[in-house]
Structure 1
């Protein structure tokens, strides 16, 4: 695995720090990872919900616990050094939500999955057929608009209407639960594939940190690991396709909005993906946030509001336009992961999130949950 730069700006997240039996809240200052855990500010949730997250992360007293290069290297080495902090996903008590079919390329690939009924060998032929039928640049459509509804009617007439086209250009966004609070893995960790899947892929995304009041205060990188064959068999299997052990990756840090780094920065970001296989296979791709069909604000509004509250806030994956179709094991066979693949997702403003692929049954089991954190923080007089 390789590690790219750590961006400037207000970064914070979580780490296991030697000498402590519970995760610590950390930031990065002057090349050092700094522990800023304090009573009342003992979780990422506490900091985010304080109403002064940026000020706290910038000014809170702290203790340097390791050089950032050493901490990042230890993450990529699977936390093998016990004397160096090990990074965790940079959220804790927040709900883990995701939005789907927010880019036209992703939309078309979901239609192909549905039509293929999980059979990846049919994907190429279906892709050509569907593109010929649609004959419209869907990326120019505003979801829910009159123009979008006319395209919807035309597609129904042609017999290619799909539930994915409904959420792609219809009035309502697809918002789903990606995982439970505390279940996400961080930079350097293994990401998991359910062992029943034979057609799957990474989904390189930006994820927003959102408070209980619906305020978007920062962003991080995410891998919304996806099982194309499982979801393709039936959208009712979305939970099985999306929510498995180690299937949600976030990190390496949350960067808080401040100064020149704003939500507008995220809207113009280009997200790079690189997959390196032990078989020598290399896949590269990019996802341009400027091509998203629903604004980040509209996706957040579809998630939290009068219709649904999140008292501990949430993190929201924004979706991806990158659906890998590059043949890996022969013509027409498309892309699917192999065990040992190294997946790196990067953008200059947020850094690089790197994970290695394994089966969800072989990844370290999720054993430290909300109850464990609260008990440990209470024992340490930090609540």
Structure 2
């Protein structure tokens, strides 16, 4: 792990009991690993990518090359996904829905947010938390909000029948635990989004989960929903890790449904912010979000799906009424006991390490290492 981040500090407390997938940077290139009973195995000769390895579950450690106990491995951890599409669901919690409406009404101006927040929460705060998306009760709330002039496109995806699902990042562009995470240099109102991320195979089954930071530029998206792509997809703006925990008898989708995701931000000036996102308050079940992602699309290499967050920081950092925004040098730690801890340091996207290892580079690397067999070439 880079810098002062210890690998053991980022692993879940029961990591020796679970099954995990990940990627490490070897001298030859990136390689998928399986971690079983605390031992890491290089699985690149079994399948050269994590996306292909997922399709061979369940896996036997005996088919890989033992690298030794995970805590002794000196190889840097990479983002644990490679060929998977990176998708994200937004506005999946009532509080995040209210904050998106505030962004929209404030037109990206943080100083105008406090008054709008107070008015909106007074009108819909309780009712929006209780309503089930897509139900007649949700439709009745929508009608009342339209009459009051408070309806929003964000409330449509919060309580309407259709979830918001978008593409967060290009294939191979995500960064891993310990890496720098990027904020656009021209953004003045932004925050992290601590989330659980489901890993879904080509058949549409959720096979495991990891942690993610879906960085949000509140000023850009607040000015116009048409700026979502520019707000979400920037260099180093999506982190995942430290590892994918596979579902088994000891870790199931119910652990995701009931997870408490904690966030800590330590600023270079001594500022500290703590927050939590309780997955049991999500408005749509995680597997319903998977279903909607798959409704009219195929993902032959599988996908990673950010499930959204309850966290929406409103505490003032500098000037009263300006709320929270990142500073370069912020250390962001996202954690939950069964998945471990994802730690990244904030820089601007211009200053972050450039993304220069794409699909062509990966295929060239794997071919040079003799890892593309005839069968693998057909599925790559």
TM over 0.5: yes
**1:5-63 superposed Cα distances (whole Å, 9 cap, x missing partner):** 4334101110102x31x201113345443322214x1110111122xx2x315443322
Identify if the C-alpha distance between structure 1 residues 363 and 351 changes in structure 2 by more than 3 Å, giving closer, same or farther. same
Alignment of 1:83-98 (within 5 A): 84-98=74-88
What does residue 211 of structure 2 align with?
Answer: 221
What does residue 74 of structure 1 align with?
Answer: none
**Residue 353 (structure 1) aligned with residue 339 (structure 2):** no
Counterpart CA distance in 1 for 2:63 and 2:245 is 16
**Residue 152 (structure 1) aligned with residue 127 (structure 2):** no
* Match for residue 308 of structure 2 among 301, 316, 319: 319
* Match for residue 42 of structure 1 among 45, 48, 64: 48
Question: How many pairs were matched up?
Answer: 363
* Match for residue 169 of structure 1 among 126, 148, 159: 159
* Match for residue 10 of structure 1 among 15, 19, 26: 19
Counterpart CA distance in 2 for 1:170 and 1:337 is 32
**1:257-284 superposed Cα distances (whole Å, 9 cap, x missing partner):** 0112111110011100000001101000
Structure 2 SS opposite 1:358: strand
Alignment of 1:302-317 (within 5 A): 302-305=292-295, 307-317=296-306
Cα distance, 1:332 vs structure 2: 1.3
* Match for residue 28 of structure 1 among 35, 38, 56: 35
* Match for residue 68 of structure 1 among 70, 82, 97: 70
Stretch moving more, 286-295 or 328-337: 328-337
TM-score under structure 2 length normalisation: 0.92
Cα distance, 1:373 vs structure 2: 1.0
Identify if the C-alpha distance between structure 1 residues 70 and 284 changes in structure 2 by more than 3 Å, giving closer, same or farther. farther
Alignment of 1:1-383 (within 5 A): 2=5, 3-6=9-12, 7=15, 8-17=17-26, 19-20=27-28, 22-39=29-46, 41-50=47-56, 53=57, 55-56=58-59, 58-64=61-67, 68-69=70-71, 84-134=74-124, 136-305=126-295, 307-383=296-372
| Contact persistence 2:10–2:242 (CA under 8 A) | no
Segments of 4+ moved more than 6 angstroms: none
Stretch moving more, 263-272 or 134-143: 134-143
| Contact persistence 2:51–2:301 (CA under 8 A) | yes
**1:298-334 superposed Cα distances (whole Å, 9 cap, x missing partner):** 11111114x1111111000000010011111132121
| Contact persistence 1:12–1:57 (CA under 8 A) | no
TM-score under structure 1 length normalisation: 0.92
Where does the alignment leave 5 or more consecutive residues of structure 2 unmatched? 373-380
| Contact persistence 1:10–1:57 (CA under 8 A) | no
Identify if the C-alpha distance between structure 1 residues 333 and 259 changes in structure 2 by more than 3 Å, giving closer, same or farther. same
Where does the alignment leave 5 or more consecutive residues of structure 1 unmatched? 72-83
**1:145-194 superposed Cα distances (whole Å, 9 cap, x missing partner):** 00000000000000010000000001110000000110100000000001
